[in-house]
């Protein structure tokens, strides 16, 4: 990517010093909430990118073949997220009431004990990462291998596996939503919370993939890729900006209308006081700005305009996760040196990981028999 490796190392090193200082200098709740936030951010970008890869195989899309290597490389962030998840397990007794002994005394929590218990939680985490690793090996590892062998059998195998992955993805992204986020306050629940996280995850994958594709195009590493290919990425971002907003508003409206104490307390905590400013900012950067920015047809395929929208989409997704997770720390949004340290550390690590991925394999899936047809795609 554009930042130099040296800069990424400096960011990661400076941030790591701050993260270590935060471990001893702030409350355990604040430290682990920040760790959970960045783990989820990295994981959802990786999962969203892996979903894009599988979706292209599922529908037999030709246009996406020339740019498929970008989400393939980004989906490797799921591998980076695995050790982050193992460390995040240490946050269970700190952040999750159901993981503490006194949780059994709360009727609502005790009723969910067959699901919300530490051993079963750990098993679900391990199974999820095992399934994602299997999907990564088949969809991404097979694609890389096809560059060398030119064997069309991979395309057939990926096409057959894609529907299976969609089932895996639907179940596991719901587990991520319910286990890692919703169970921070286990008294609360929402039937469509998994769909809400899916919408944000797909948008994050689209935004990150668009940035990588634009970078490669501008550096002459994707010859034959045109604004028409970018237009489809922009069209997906526009559509799922609307979808995310619809799901988020529908979830809020149903709970506001029902006005049930076991549901509204979660929103009450997130829309009162200083958190109201975060909600308003989220509405602006996650819906209003990208929505109106992507309405013009030309903007969807314009590399310069699309780059800024993609960056905004990623920032908005992070803000969304911040709004979901950080209220467990207190009534005011925390934003000081610990949050900056986590940002520097994990942004630096992510950039280093992506830079390494950008040097592996060809920039296009050159072994895919549909590549030429994809390069000829025009709207």
pLDDT tens readout for residues 286-305: 999 999 999 998 889 999 99
**pLDDT tens-place string over residues 222-231:** 999 999 999 9
Query: Would you say residue 18 lies in a domain?
Result: no
- Taking the complete model, does pTM exceed 0.75, yes or no? yes
- The alpha carbon dihedral of 24, 28, 29, 31 has a sign of positive
The pair of three-digit structure tokens given for residue 108, joined into one six-digit string? 């609502």
Specify the pLDDT at position 274.
93
Query: Would you say residue 15 lies in a domain?
Result: no
Whether 2 has a pLDDT exceeding 50, the answer reads no
CA distance 243 to 213: 23
**pLDDT tens-place string over residues 48-59:** 999 999 999 999
Q: How confident is the model at residue 109 (pLDDT cuts 50, 70, 90)?
A: confident
Q: What is the mean pLDDT of residues 189-210?
A: 95
Q: What is the mean pLDDT of residues 196-207?
A: 97
Whether 4 has a pLDDT exceeding 50, the answer reads yes
Q: What is the mean pLDDT of residues 236-260?
A: 92
Q: What is the mean pLDDT of residues 226-255?
A: 94
Specify the pLDDT at position 361.
87
The pair of three-digit structure tokens given for residue 265, joined into one six-digit string? 């307390």
Query: Would you say residue 335 lies in a domain?
Result: no
Contact criterion met (CB below 8 Å) for 49 and 236:
no
Query: Would you say residue 292 lies in a domain?
Result: yes
Q: Which domain holds residue 216?
A: 28-328
Q: What is the mean pLDDT of residues 236-245?
A: 97
Whether 37 has a pLDDT exceeding 50, the answer reads yes
CA distance 290 to 306: 10
Query: Would you say residue 334 lies in a domain?
Result: no
Percent of the chain with pLDDT over 70: 99
Number of domains in the chain: 1
**Whole-number CA gyration radius for the chain:** 21
Find, among 134, 24, 12, the residue nearest to 79 by Cα.
134
Specify the pLDDT at position 5.
58
Q: What is the mean pLDDT of residues 242-268?
A: 90
Q: At what angle do helices 28-59 and 303-325 cross, to 10 degrees?
A: 130
Query: Would you say residue 365 lies in a domain?
Result: no
Q: What is the mean pLDDT of residues 9-17?
A: 94
Query: Would you say residue 121 lies in a domain?
Result: yes
Q: DSSP secondary structure string, 243-287?
A: HHHHHHHHHHHHHHHH--HHHHHHHHHHHSTTHHHHHHHHHIIII
**pLDDT tens-place string over residues 58-99:** 999 999 999 999 999 999 999 999 999 999 999 999 999 999
**pLDDT tens-place string over residues 313-356:** 999 999 999 999 999 998 889 999 999 999 999 999 999 999 99
Q: How confident is the model at residue 1 (pLDDT cuts 50, 70, 90)?
A: very low
Q: Which of 3-7, 106-110, 215-219 has the largest mean confidence?
A: 215-219
Q: What is the mean pLDDT of residues 9-21?
A: 94
Query: Would you say residue 361 lies in a domain?
Result: no
């Amino acid at each position: 990517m554009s930042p130099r490796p040296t800069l990424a190392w400096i960011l990661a090193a400076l941030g790591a010093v701050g993260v270590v200082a935060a471990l001893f200098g702030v409350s355990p709740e604040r430290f682990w909430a920040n760790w959970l936030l960045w783990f989820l951010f990295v994981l959802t970008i990786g999962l969203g990118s892996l979903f894009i890869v599988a979706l292209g195989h599922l529908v037999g899309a030709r246009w996406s073949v020339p740019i498929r290597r970008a989400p393939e490389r980004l989906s490797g962030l799921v591998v980076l997220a695995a050790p982050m998840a193992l460390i995040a397990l240490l946050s269970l007794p700190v952040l999750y009431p159901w993981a503490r002994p006194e949780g059994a005394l709360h009727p609502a929590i005790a009723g969910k004990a067959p699901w919300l218990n530490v051993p079963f939680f750990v098993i679900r985490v391990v199974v999820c990462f095992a399934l994602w690793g299997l999907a990564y090996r088949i969809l991404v590892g097979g694609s890389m291998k096809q560059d060398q062998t030119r064997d069309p059998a991979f395309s057939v195998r990926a096409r057959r596996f894609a529907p299976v992955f969609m089932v895996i993805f639907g179940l596991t992204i719901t587990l991520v939503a319910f286990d890692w986020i919703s169970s921070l306050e286990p008294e609360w629940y929402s039937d469509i919370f998994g769909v809400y996280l899916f919408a944000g995850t797909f948008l994050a994958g689209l935004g990150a993939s668009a940035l990588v594709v634009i970078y490669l195009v501008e550096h002459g590493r994707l010859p034959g890729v045109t604004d028409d290919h970018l237009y489809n990425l922009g069209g997906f971002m526009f559509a799922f900006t609307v979808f995310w907003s619809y799901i988020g508003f529908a979830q809020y409206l149903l709970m506001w209308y029902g006005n049930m104490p076991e549901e509204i307390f979660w929103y009450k905590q997130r829309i009162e006081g200083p958190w109201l400013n975060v909600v308003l900012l989220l509405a602006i950067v996650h819906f209003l700005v990208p929505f109106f920015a992507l309405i013009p047809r030309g903007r969807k395929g314009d590399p310069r305009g699309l780059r800024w929208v993609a960056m905004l989409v990623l920032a908005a997704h992070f803000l969304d996760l911040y709004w979901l997770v950080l209220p467990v720390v207190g009534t005011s949004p925390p934003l000081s040196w610990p949050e900056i340290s986590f940002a520097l550390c994990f942004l630096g690590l992510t950039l280093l990981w992506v830079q390494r991925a950008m040097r592996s394999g060809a920039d296009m899936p050159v072994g895919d028999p549909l590549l030429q047809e994809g390069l000829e795609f025009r709207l």
